[in-house]
Amino acid sequence: MSIYIKLKDNNIEFINFQPFDERHGLGKTREELLLDGIFVDQLPQPELFEGKISIIKYGDIGLYYEYIDEPITLDTKVQNIMDKQSTAQEKYAATDKSSVLLINLKKLKMAQLDEACNMAIVNGFKHVIGTTEYLFSCSLSAQSNFTGTDLLFKDGFITQAEWSAVDVATNVVERVILNQTDFNTVKLKVFQHINSNISKFRNTLQTQVEAAVTVAEVDAVKW
């Protein structure tokens, strides 16, 4: 597989994975393309760091990645402000159960359970690779990395991925090498982990809250 990288003043202008394809190619010969760029068989694999994005660069050492902080979007700013406010758990705990209306307590309980569900998902899942049990993060950035890495495997651009996970026995963060088979098992575990927590919230606990007819019954519903 020939991947073409167009260079301009030693900066990468664009990358084309099918430079000679009739539909998606660049309409030039290899010799013509080499006047303004280079060909590689595959791209180097970036490391995955939470809160960072990787930018591929070209220099004297060839292709490499530069890692920068994820840009702070408006949504992130709003979320940061919200994080400084009371959590749903704190709001529920501070509610006077002796005077609150049942309908309002149900809303507070649903928010509490929703927060607990998200926390359970983000806290990750345990999975065995080889003979070692690891704890894998399932934060939003980790979920995004799972999706992106899955596409790279499917398109044949990588044959293995290096992943950060915690060795459950030692509680030490390690860089784990995942081949296609290993990654597929982790990918399935991601789906099962997210789906089981959402199912617990929506199909079980939400139903219990909706069916409750007293404050005590609502308060008895726990994550």
CA 95 – CA 25 distance, rounded (Å): 63
Is the model more confident about 49 or about 85? Answer: 49
pLDDT tens-place string over residues 175-206 = 999 999 999 999 999 999 999 999 999 999 99
pLDDT tens-place string over residues 94-150 = 999 999 999 999 999 999 999 999 999 999 999 999 999 999 999 988 999 999 999
- Among candidate residues 23, 22, 25, the one with its CA nearest the CA of residue 6: 25
Mean pLDDT of the chain: 90
Could you give the angle at which helices 140-154 and 180-199 cross, rounded to 10 degrees? 140
- What's the one-letter identity of residue 191? F
Contact 186, 164 (CB under 8 A): no
Contact 166, 174 (CB under 8 A): yes
pLDDT tens-place string over residues 22-71 = 888 899 999 999 999 999 988 888 887 877 888 888 888 888 888 888 77
